[in-house]
Amino acid sequence: MASYILRRVLVTIPVMGIVALFVFSLLYIAPGDPAAVIAGDQASPADVERIRQSLGLDQPFLVQFGGWLWRILHFDLGTSIFTNLPVTSLIAQRIEPTLSLMMLTLALTLVIAVPLGVIAAWKAGSLIDRVIMAFAVSAFSLPVFVVGYILAYVFALELEWFPVQGYTPLADGFWPWLQSLVLPTIALGSVYIALIARITRASMLEVLQQDYIRTGRAKGLGQPSILFIHALKNAAVPIVTVIGIGVALLIGGAVVTESVFAIPGVGRLTVDAILRRDYPVIQGIVLMFSFLYTLVNLMVDVTYTLIDPRIRY
């Protein structure tokens, strides 16, 4: 197992290198002079030149990329054009709300989606199954911000159960923190829940047809024991895979959710950076989230060996 994990980690390193190369070369893929685009329409030639130099765009590509990669390895994501602060400290200031939101959403999703999928598979074809699957299709079709606005309108504006907007840091107390995150979590989680519920149902349906499930029934195991111990464990690999892939949805959705609920997180930082054309900040955020996403999927791969001892590459 140790050698599998080691090999898996080693495979991740070149992938991260390719991600870094991509994020870096985006500047060159885009048509036109990047310095002029970042400077905006009202910029003077001197401004454009200043940006060109501060981004090092006047140097050869490989020199730029090498230097950039070297700085990344030292946790230096560059300097914001607008605020002149290091991108890493900008992200560090904003990371708490975003991580809180994403972790809570992940927890909520696992608690809701997996049982929903199991029940739908158990009662496949019944009314409950149809209702759950209809919910899944509609959740897929409702964009994050639409769900966010509906929730905010009903539960914050009309019923006044939760704050409409804003974020209370965890340091100010657990309950206010949780209260400020309930609606954003549900909004962000809706698509994710639909995704996981669907894959759980599909994977469970396959497992429930296996012989050992019939054996379990024959020897008199109770329904919960069959479903949640024997079946779910064998259905877990595809579910865990999709949980990992779905983290991309969480990351993209967090940017939007934070805008809807005015949460001062990395998503808001992204939106502000777009409006100010602060490219180093955008680049830093994209790179950080991509690495995070790669690491999550690395963890998912390692989890396989814990769930299913048969997996040995």
Partner 1 sequence: MSASATNSAAVPPGLAIARQLPDLMQPVKVRRGVLGFLRNNPTVAIGAALLLCLMLIGIFAPYLGTVDPTAIAPAKRMRPPSELYWFGTDALGRDVYSRVMFGARVSLTVGLSVALLATLAGLAIGLVSGFVRWADAIIMRIMDGLMSIPPILLAVALMALTRGSVRNVIMSITIAEIPRVSRLVRGVVLSLREQPYVDAAIASGTRMPMIILRHILPNTLAPLLVQATYVCASAMIVEAILSFIGAGTPPTIPSWGNIMAEGRALWQVKPFLVFFPAAFLSITVLAVNLVGDGLRDALDPRMAKDL
Q: Nearest approach, Cβ of 220 to partner 1 (angstroms)?
A: 28
Distance from chain centroid for Cα 25: 23
Q: Report the residue from 89, 93, 126, 138 that binds partner 1 according to the rule CB under 8 A.
A: 138
| Closest CB to partner 1 among residues 170, 293 | 293
Q: Report the residue from 137, 229, 299, 306 that binds partner 1 according to the rule CB under 8 A.
A: 137
Q: Nearest approach, Cβ of 275 to partner 1 (angstroms)?
A: 5
| Closest CB to partner 1 among residues 89, 141 | 141
Should residue 25 be labelled a site residue for partner 1 when binding is judged by CB under 8 A?
Answer: no
Question: What is the Cα–Cα distance from 60 to 299, expressed in whole angstroms?
Answer: 37
Should residue 190 be labelled a site residue for partner 1 when binding is judged by CB under 8 A?
Answer: no
Report residue 212 as tokens: 């050992």
Question: What is the Cα–Cα distance from 161 to 179, expressed in whole angstroms?
Answer: 9
# residues contacting partner 1 (CB under 8 A): 60
Report residue 306 as tokens: 């814990």
Question: What is the Cα–Cα distance from 146 to 257, expressed in whole angstroms?
Answer: 10
Q: Nearest approach, Cβ of 29 to partner 1 (angstroms)?
A: 7
Closest CA relative to residue 87, chosen from 264, 283, 252: 283
SS3 label, residue 44: coil
| Radius of gyration, alpha carbons of the chain | 23
Q: Report the residue from 227, 231, 285, 304 that binds partner 1 according to the rule CB under 8 A.
A: 285
Single-letter amino acid, residue 227: L
Q: At what angle do helices 2-29 and 279-307 cross, to 10 degrees?
A: 160
Q: Report the residue from 202, 221, 302, 311 that binds partner 1 according to the rule CB under 8 A.
A: 202
Should residue 129 be labelled a site residue for partner 1 when binding is judged by CB under 8 A?
Answer: no
Single-letter amino acid, residue 231: A
Phi, psi of 184 (to 5 degrees): -60, -40
Q: Nearest approach, Cβ of 71 to partner 1 (angstroms)?
A: 18
Sites of contact with partner 1 (CB under 8 A): 14-16, 18-19, 21-23, 26-27, 29-32, 34, 37-38, 137-138, 140-146, 149, 153, 157, 164, 198, 201-202, 205-206, 248-249, 251-253, 255-256, 259-260, 270-271, 273-275, 277, 279, 282-283, 285-286, 289-290, 293-294, 297
